Amino acid sequence: MKIVIIEDEEEIVKILKLTFQIRWPSAEILAANYGSKGIQIVEKESPDLVILDLGLPDMDGFDVLDQIRAFSSEVPVLILTVTNDEHCIVRALESGADEYIIKPFHQLELLSRVKVLLRRRLMDSEEVAINVGPFRLSKYSNTLMVDNRRLILTNTEKIIMSHLLLNAGNLVPANLLAEAIWGHNYTNAKDAVRVHIWRLRRKVEPNPQTPCFIVTVPHLGFKLALS
């Protein structure tokens, strides 16, 4: 396993390395204290996980995330930052982050969330392709075909879309999606799910403001409408 840490605080890097090495002794852990260097490492090394701080000395962490997502939609990205502003959390999730943890963090919680991200990455390579209506969700990549349109989903979007496709026409509760994504239904998870749904609609829907495929069932969840 290979992990890239993009973080400028040396003490945090040391804690992260120790935490991961205790849990995964054979893991290769690479660190960069500048965003530009971190981007280069991620592109070159194709890691299994990226830990990203938003407050970097040379560039905005959101720009780092955007550049990583430009060449890799599949690598899980966990934001680890002191910024607890709701708008920043929403922006990070909208930009393709898979997780968001606020410093100071609990090591066991961090490990738990990382294990969920890695388990999801492993499951992606084992699942079968899903064909429903105009949709075809790829077996081995994050590619979604909608008729003749080719879309690239994030890991989280792929999980949501697979549940909607497998339950086409039926309600998929928001709490079920939260558990599928993060392994548990934590506080504010439904809000986070709504953010990912909104981002998915921007890719899938002809008009995201009036969705015809991914329909909200008020107070309950979502369903995929095919007619």
Residue 70: per-residue pLDDT? 87
Residue 190: per-residue pLDDT? 84
Residue 37 has pLDDT above 80, yes or no: yes
User: 91 or 139, which is more confident?
Assistant: 91
Residue 54 has pLDDT above 90, yes or no: yes
Please tell me the distance from the alpha carbon of residue 172 to that of residue 126, in angstroms, as a whole number.
22
Instruction: From 36, 41, 70, select the one nearest 56 (Cα to Cα).
Output: 36
How many residues does this entry show for the chain? 227
The domain made up of 127-224 has a fold known as Arc Repressor Mutant, subunit A (1.10.10)
**2-123 and 127-224 agree in CATH topology:** no
User: 105 falls in which pLDDT band (50, 70, 90)?
Assistant: very high
CATH number of 2-123: 3.40.50.2300
Residue 188 has pLDDT above 80, yes or no: no
Residue 94: per-residue pLDDT? 83
Which amino acid is it at 44?
A: K
Lowest mean pLDDT among 30-34, 159-163, 180-184: 180-184
Handedness of CA 208, 136, 124, 225 (dihedral sign): positive
Residue 124 has pLDDT above 70, yes or no: no
Residue 176: per-residue pLDDT? 92
Task: Tell me if 78 sits within 8 A of 97, measured CB to CB.
Answer: yes
Residue 127: per-residue pLDDT? 53
pTM, entire model:
0.64
- Average pLDDT value for the chain: 90
Please tell me the distance from the alpha carbon of residue 70 to that of residue 144, in angstroms, as a whole number.
16
Domain ranges in the chain are 2-123, 127-224
